[in-house]
Structure 1
Amino acid sequence: MYGSVLSSANTMGQLQQKLNGISSNLSNSNTTGYKRSETTFSDMLYQQTNNLQDERNEAGRLTPAGLRTGSGAGVAQTALRMEQGPIENTDRELDFAITEKDQFFQVESMTGGDPETQYTRDGSFYLSENPEEPDGWTLVNNQGDYLLGADGERMDVPAGAGSFTLQEDGTLEAVNQAGEEIEIGEMELARITKPQLLDRVNGNNYALPDLGELGLEEADVLEFIPGAEEAVKQGSLEQSNVDVGQAMTDMMTTQRQYSFNARAISQGDQMMGLINSLRG
């Protein structure tokens, strides 16, 4: 009896983690470049109790001997689903949509105090004052992280420049105050070959763990490709890949499972109460 209560209680705790993931998906259904997470389960440890005393009675038996008591279901994996989200035209010069999955913009985040390269699918960028050149600008995302181009260089922009154009080879150009075309930098994307290693950090950004601890090299995980015309679409943004209808269905199904397990605990408690009253 205690085993059934324990099994249901364990499963409820794991179902709550799935509900948290679904809630995060729903709350970010309108977040640019957001990738939904999906939770899967597996059986937790179980105990086999064999009560067949005479092995001769096993002859012709079709059912398993004894009783197998489980301890509930546990979260096996919370996977990042990288399906392409819909592309929405914005006609804004500094909006860029990545058109292939597993590819990310590289940004330099200063959230932890030290510069750290992070990755994002949110291609909405803005002009911000360049801290190294007060008279100039640099491209940042909506969290203030610096956009990185080829060779990890920031995409710095001279003051007064405008009319940004992404060339076919991935070079971002602008027109300066003198009306001359100037090169801002080369757009470069990072292709993550093992996207399930990514940790969601700092809003809509992702970061890789310490690869050395996993026995991996950077080349095992990262490939750098030009942000050419076929990979990046200017004047557009990739929307979230969350299917709101499916997420609502998953939420109701998970809530029903949670309710069933809560009822099992309640019924187990009632049965233990009946047993105690009979003993009295």
Structure 2
Amino acid sequence: MLKAFYSSATGMRAQELLIDNTANNLANVNTTGFKKKHINFADLIYDTSTPPGAASANGQIKPIGLQIGTGVRAVGTTSIFSQGSPQETGIDTHMAIEGDGFFKVQKGDTVAYTRDGTFTTNDQGQVVNSDGYLLDPQITIPPTATDISISPNGVVSYRQNGVSTTGASIQLSRFANPAGLQNLGSNLFAETAASGAETLGEPGTDGYGQLRQRFIEGANVEVVSELVSLITAQRAYEINSRAIRAGDEMLSSASNLVR
């Protein structure tokens, strides 16, 4: 049986995964803080008839060998943490991170991390995200507070009963390998052994990004690039299917030799 059948089948499956990944990127083009994913591929093992550097019949070293590959496989998806474009909302508790870092939130008994700065306050004045998870460290802004200000380095201040008050400061988390974070959905990430342990710091210091109040960070998806990827994957899928068809025609021709 021709190896082309199986090699082309792995190629078609790989292009299906590429289209799935591209579709997810495009679906989240308006998702706050979304980071696009890049899918990584690797070739499979090779059928080696003659290895490079083998000795020929006359004792000479062959400069090349005879190796036929067996296809392709997906090895992982890499999150691209490039900066998304800032979008002004005018809401006092909305924040965008300009640079590296993640907001930390309390998700039940665990913690999670996000670039989505669409925070608001609950009925107790605690700053929470869209799902109601508390910002960590906890920030409380009284319901009667006015002139709410969040400085670039995370200091929260407001006026209450005509008195200026400085509240707790917002901290950001960083990871040695943010691409190793696990995607949880709902714009949340979880720490893993691959990401390394979190390090907390003040915005605007030691490589942590600054905060920009009344803005949120848009998705970093480039629609044109994703459309090019979509077209490329579609054409590659068609070409692999044609390779299977060509192999089938070759076998058909061989079977018709004896009739």
TM range (shorter): 0.7 to 0.9
Structure-to-structure mapping, 1:37-76, within 5 angstroms:
37-50=37-50, 55-57=56-58, 59=60, 63-64=64-65, 67-76=66-75
Cα distance in 2, alignment partners of residues 169 and 11 from structure 1: 49
Query: Which residue identity lines up with residue 104 of structure 1 in the other structure?
Result: F
SS of the residue 1:274 aligns to: helix
What displacement does 1:60 show? 7.8
Cα distance in 2, alignment partners of residues 80 and 161 from structure 1: 39
* Aligned partner (choices 179, 187, 199) of residue 182 of structure 2: 199
What displacement does 1:187 show? 0.4
* Aligned partner (choices 85, 102, 105) of residue 104 of structure 1: 102
Cα distance in 2, alignment partners of residues 169 and 270 from structure 1: 67
Further displaced range: 78-87 or 158-167: 158-167
Cα distance in 1, alignment partners of residues 204 and 46 from structure 2: 53
Structure-to-structure mapping, 1:212-223, within 5 angstroms:
220-223=196-199
| Paired position in structure 2 for 1:186 | 169
Q: Describe the shift of the 1:137–1:58 C-alpha distance in structure 2 as closer, same or farther (beyond 3 A).
A: same
TM-score (norm 1): 0.81
Deviation sequence 1:190-220 (CA, Å, 0-9, x none): 01221121111132111112x3xx6x9xxx5
Query: Which residue identity lines up with residue 126 of structure 2 in the other structure?
Result: T
| Paired position in structure 2 for 1:140 | 128
| Paired position in structure 1 for 2:119 | 125
Structure 1 unaligned spans of 5+: 130-135
CA contact (8 A) 1:40 1:76 kept: yes
SS of the residue 1:22 aligns to: helix
Answering whether residue 246 of structure 2 is matched by residue 263 of structure 1, we say: no
Query: Which residue identity lines up with residue 146 of structure 1 in the other structure?
Result: L
CA contact (8 A) 1:167 1:228 kept: no
Structure-to-structure mapping, 1:2-21, within 5 angstroms:
2-21=2-21
Cα distance in 1, alignment partners of residues 46 and 218 from structure 2: 43
CA contact (8 A) 1:8 1:72 kept: yes
4+ residue runs over 6 A deviation: none
| Paired position in structure 1 for 2:150 | 166
| Higher percent of residues as helix | 1
Structure 2 unaligned spans of 5+: none
SS of the residue 1:32 aligns to: coil
Q: Describe the shift of the 1:74–1:58 C-alpha distance in structure 2 as closer, same or farther (beyond 3 A).
A: farther
TM-score (norm 2): 0.87
Cα distance in 2, alignment partners of residues 97 and 138 from structure 1: 19
What displacement does 1:35 show? 0.8
Cα distance in 2, alignment partners of residues 258 and 268 from structure 1: 16
Deviation sequence 1:106-158 (CA, Å, 0-9, x none): 11123xxxx221111111111223xxxxxx23211112222112xxxx22333
